[in-house]
Amino acid sequence: MVTYIVRRLITAALILLGASFLVYLLTASSGDPLEEFRASSAPNKQQLMDSRSQLLDLDTPAPLRYFKWLSGAARCLVPFGGSCDLGKNIAGQPITEALGFALVQTLTLVTGATILAILIGIALGIITALRQYSALDYGVTFMAFLFFSLPIFWVAVLLKEYGAIGFNDFLRNPEIPLPVALGIGAVAGLIVAVAVGGAARRRLVSGGIVFLAVSLILIYFSLVQWFRNPGLGPVVIAIAGVGIAFAVTLLVAGLKNRKALQASLIVVALGVVAYFAVQPLLNQATAVMIVLLGIATIGVGVGTGFLMGGYDRGQSMRAAGITAFLVGGLILMDRFMQAWPSYFSNSRVRGRPIATIGAGTPNIQGDFWVLTLDTFTHLILPTMALILVSLASYTRFTRSSMLEIMNMDYIRTARAKGLSERSVVMGHAFRNALIPIATIVAFDIGALIGGAVITETVFSVRGMGFLFLDGIMHTDPNPVMGVFVCVAVTAMVFNLIADLAYSALDPRVRIKA
Amino acid sequence: MSQPTQQEEFLAEHAHSRQPGSSYEPEAKGLSQGQIVRKRFLGHTGALVGLFIFAVIFLMAFTSVGWAGIPGWWKYDHLDVSPLVNDGVPTASLWPPAWGEHPFGQDRIGRDLFAMTMRGAQQSIIIMLLIGTIAGLLGTVVGGLSGYFRGWVEAVLMRITDVIIIIPVLLLAAVVAQSVNRRDQGGWFSGFAASNGILILGIFLGLVSWVGLARLMRGEFLTLREREFVDAARISGASNARIIFKHILPNAIGVLIVNVTLTMSAAILLETALSYLGVGVKSPDTSLGLLISQNQEAFSTRPWLFWFPGIFIVLICLSINFIGDGLRDAFDPRQKKFNAKKARDTQQSGEPAKAPAAAADGSAGD
């Protein structure tokens, strides 16, 4: 095992050395860094050219410059040495500083999108595998192929037009005409009718209920101008919480486990009480406090589950913990909605909240809630675009993995033992189907920090992809090398982790030392 | 398809071990591999529709504006400037069906968008085919050699693959784009490249996108070379070349074709993305990605400039993806055919292998 890891790391280091040498030479030879001065008619043209030559050390041939760069970069390997030197970019800024900034930008952009895409993709994949050859399966398959074929910059322009400009115009006068409300309700009902499966009567009833509910809610929203002054309130949180409690218990423990259900319901009641208790506290919120509150919430949930016990204490704890987390999320969402009007009327936002470019409104003032909302409104479009294009592969992969597992002999054995369908799907099939997905996820997380070059360009986020592209455009090797080294190292480390995780999760796969 | 009996045996074995009595067995009886694959592919509706759409786009793109000096039937080409008709609004209409002077409209200076889109689709298809061919060939050779011979051949080739796989494509494309654009040097390369930017880009992207295929083919060769029929061939005195070309390659061809198709659909998006970032196809020539990037600011005033090229990208990519999906189902005996009618038939006849899936269907609906 250790031999294997050491060998992998040494090979990786050698590959990295070779590839970085190539990347340096390629970047240096990709253009002329002095080009913009050559054609200029500025009187101090020669001086400008000289200073840039000096900054980029152009008198030294590129292969030698690589080794100069390498000697600086090698000092980054010394932990806490503080002498990390990746050179400077064309504007004279140290690369380590630029990388730090870009990394934060990129991670805020892609983390949420990746997590959401993984969750939604896996859920869709499992549902379509369980309903193989149903209308839902065909629909999702078609959508997956469609999303897979979309160029992201094309989606981005459409989102900007309809998601941002259209929605902002709508917010100016948030009234939904009756036919539109009915239409949206009908579409939602149709989707549900297709998705639930089963007999025609069942489909019709579920679809009808959803149609009525969605239409009525939209009409209500329109009447009270909900989109201007959104909010959930304790009543909605309580109702939604009970729904969440039932759904989570159904998935985690099965409704037959009464203790788990009771634990989840108790947690919901605690949540509604906490809703009133924490409001004054939330008014002085900081990010750290939210995280601490979240941990406390999960702790309370798990504790309740532990106290309730039942024939399977672990199931109760899991059900109550997840319920607590979700109810806490609802309370948080409600607090964000309370801050919405003040964000909406902020002098920098001027009633057009959904932004099309950038990572934040410049010079915005406000408390934690307003500032976080500002980040959200800037993230929402790129996140949607990224989810759309990366959803497809997760869905397809999970579906085929799940289908293969469902045809295995041990699934038949599980059924023959008389286990409930829930425990066959969730306990036997789902967990094993996750093994190959875990490796894909590890790869994707490794690729995360490379950023999404095109998404960052379209939405003007100055992240890693932007830094990289900018370096290429200016024939500036240092930022390109900085990004490349970061991306390559994480990608290699996560490849290794993926391989190790696979052999840890699936004992049939042995690592050859 | 020189080894139909072996392949059949292999397929049948898989069918037996995987899903006894599935829908697959009867259709394999007495048919060669090629016939089975063809039959399964033709039963895949999505793939057929994809093939049809792709054929239509292919014909339209290459005949309308002409190619390689051969004139086409459309009156404009992508550079012609003509007076604006009706401020450039598309003249095509679905009802009454009409084509009009400028079916897809015109841009600001009066170039015909239909001609530009067709030219762009042509370029995208050429690049896609180039990438598919080159990546497929290189990937098979490298993957096959390292999988079959193992030892130092494998070590060297796979390390080269590892190095290429982590060099960002964007950087390589930028280097090519720069050297193509450097006209002041006047070497033979830049002279050739200046007039054939598309070919250079396609060849180049092909030269970097074979790595995934090589890894895949290596895995395929690694498993196939251990099989009994390869041992049998070796014992009866077959040369390495004969084993590779007559025994292993025909068995690996399915995986290869499917993944070349998928590489090609990714290649379309790669080309459009690179053109969008300004390191792919450059004006005055045009491509679908370039058209979108040139016209994205005009979305509010001339939305058609944005819609038509985008729709063509999506259509080409979607049809290739569906063809790839159909090929995968046709070549992979383990995957059941994506055919609703057949699935329903087998479910109704209550075959044992289908029972779990049917049960899942039924009880998940509770």
pLDDT tens-digit series, residues A410-427: 899 999 998 888 888 888
3-state class percentages of chain B: helix first, strand second, coil last, to nearest 5: 70, 0, 25
Peptide bond preceding A362 in cis form (omega within 30 of 0): no
Q: What is the pLDDT of residue B86?
A: 66
Q: What is the pLDDT of residue B205?
A: 84
Angle formed by the axes of helices B197-208 and B188-195, nearest 10°: 100
Query: How far is it, in rounded angstroms, from Cα A252 to Cα A266?
Result: 16
Q: How far is A48 from chain B (nearest CA, A)?
A: 23
Q: What is the pLDDT of residue B353?
A: 39
Give the pLDDT band (50/70/90) at residue B12: very low
3-state class percentages of chain A: helix first, strand second, coil last, to nearest 5: 75, 0, 25
Q: How far is A336 from chain B (nearest CA, A)?
A: 32
Spatial CB neighbours of A405, under 8 Å, sequence gap ≥ 6: A411, A429, A432, A433
User: Which range (B7-11, B82-86, B331-335) has the least confidence?
Assistant: B7-11
The answer to whether B171 contacts A487, with C-beta atoms less than 8 Å apart, is no
A454 in contact with B, Cβ within 8 Å: yes
Phi, psi of B70 (to 5 degrees): -80, 125
Query: How far is it, in rounded angstroms, from Cα A167 to Cα A427?
Result: 42
**What are the pLDDT digits (tens) for A302-328?**
999 888 877 788 888 989 999 999 999
The answer to whether B168 contacts A484, with C-beta atoms less than 8 Å apart, is yes
User: Looking at residues B88-104, what average pLDDT do you find?
Assistant: 65
User: Looking at residues B119-134, what average pLDDT do you find?
Assistant: 88
Report which of residues B277 and B177 the model is more confident about.
B277
Residue B163 CA to its chain's centroid (Å): 24
Global pTM reads 0.81
Q: What is the pLDDT of residue B72?
A: 67
A147 in contact with B, Cβ within 8 Å: no
User: Looking at residues B151-173, what average pLDDT do you find?
Assistant: 83
Spatial CB neighbours of B130, under 8 Å, sequence gap ≥ 6: B199, B202, B203, B205, B206
Per CB-CB distance under 8 Å, the chain A contacts of B273 are: 151-153, 454
Nearest residue in A to B162, CA atom = A15
The answer to whether B273 contacts A454, with C-beta atoms less than 8 Å apart, is yes
Nearest residue in B to A135, CA atom = B340
Q: What is the pLDDT of residue A295?
A: 92
User: Which range (A330-344, B1-15, B23-37, B319-333) has the least confidence?
Assistant: B1-15
Nearest residue in B to A17, CA atom = B163
Q: What is the pLDDT of residue B264?
A: 87
Nearest residue in A to B362, CA atom = A198
Closest CA to B317 of B265, B272, B282: B265
Q: What is the pLDDT of residue A417?
A: 92
Q: How is residue A139 written in tokens?
A: 């629909």
**What are the pLDDT digits (tens) for B303-336?**
777 888 888 888 998 898 888 888 877 876 555 5
CB B46 within 8 A of CB B322: yes
Does residue B33 have a pLDDT over 50?
yes
Q: What is the pLDDT of residue B149?
A: 85
Q: What is the pLDDT of residue B364?
A: 34
Q: What is the pLDDT of residue A269?
A: 92
A509 in contact with B, Cβ within 8 Å: no
Report which of residues B32 and B210 the model is more confident about.
B210
Residues 19-38 of A with CB under 8 A from B: 19, 22-23, 26-27, 29-31
Nearest to A133 among B159, B340, B356 (CB): B340
User: Looking at residues A63-70, what average pLDDT do you find?
Assistant: 82
Nearest residue in B to A20, CA atom = B167
Q: What is the pLDDT of residue B277?
A: 82
Q: What is the pLDDT of residue B192?
A: 61
Does residue B236 have a pLDDT over 50?
yes
Q: State percent of chain B over pLDDT 90.
A: 3
Nearest to B175 among A30, A149, A457 (CB): A30
Query: How far is it, in rounded angstroms, from Cα A67 to Cα A76?
Result: 15
Q: Please state, rounded to an integer, the average pLDDT across all residues of chain A.
A: 83
Nearest to B365 among A198, A425, A453 (CB): A198
Q: How is residue A316 written in tokens?
A: 């109760």
Chain A to chain B Cβ contacts (< 8 Å): 138
Range among A29-33, A386-390, B77-81, B104-108 with highest mean pLDDT value: A386-390
Report which of residues B94 and A244 the model is more confident about.
A244
**What are the pLDDT digits (tens) for A186-223?**
999 888 888 777 778 888 888 899 899 988 888 888 88
User: Looking at residues B48-71, what average pLDDT do you find?
Assistant: 81
A427 in contact with B, Cβ within 8 Å: no
Report which of residues A175 and B214 the model is more confident about.
B214
Spatial CB neighbours of A507, under 8 Å, sequence gap ≥ 6: none
A134 in contact with B, Cβ within 8 Å: yes
Residue A427 CA to its chain's centroid (Å): 26
Q: How far is B167 from chain A (nearest CA, A)?
A: 6
Nearest residue in B to A491, CA atom = B166
Query: How far is it, in rounded angstroms, from Cα A483 to Cα A491?
Result: 12
Amino acid in the structure at residue B268: I
The answer to whether A421 contacts B366, with C-beta atoms less than 8 Å apart, is yes
Nearest to B364 among A29, A152, A421 (CB): A421
Ranges assigned E (strand) in A192-298: none
Give the pLDDT band (50/70/90) at residue B97: low
Q: End-to-end distance of chain A based on CA atoms, in angstroms?
A: 6
The answer to whether B276 contacts A153, with C-beta atoms less than 8 Å apart, is yes
Per CB-CB distance under 8 Å, the chain A contacts of B167 are: 19, 22-23, 26
Q: State percent of chain A over pLDDT 70.
A: 96
The answer to whether B343 contacts A152, with C-beta atoms less than 8 Å apart, is no
A250 in contact with B, Cβ within 8 Å: no
Nearest to A30 among B18, B159, B178 (CB): B178
Report which of residues B179 and B238 the model is more confident about.
B238
A149 in contact with B, Cβ within 8 Å: yes
Q: What does the DSSP 8-state code read for residue B247?
A: I
CB A272 within 8 A of CB A241: yes
CA angle A104, A106, A112 (to 5 degrees): 100
Q: How is residue B56 written in tokens?
A: 């239509």
The answer to whether A157 contacts B296, with C-beta atoms less than 8 Å apart, is yes
Does residue A512 have a pLDDT over 70?
no
Q: What is the pLDDT of residue B186?
A: 52
User: Looking at residues A487-497, what average pLDDT do you find?
Assistant: 85
Q: What is the pLDDT of residue A321?
A: 92
Nearest residue in A to B329, CA atom = A400
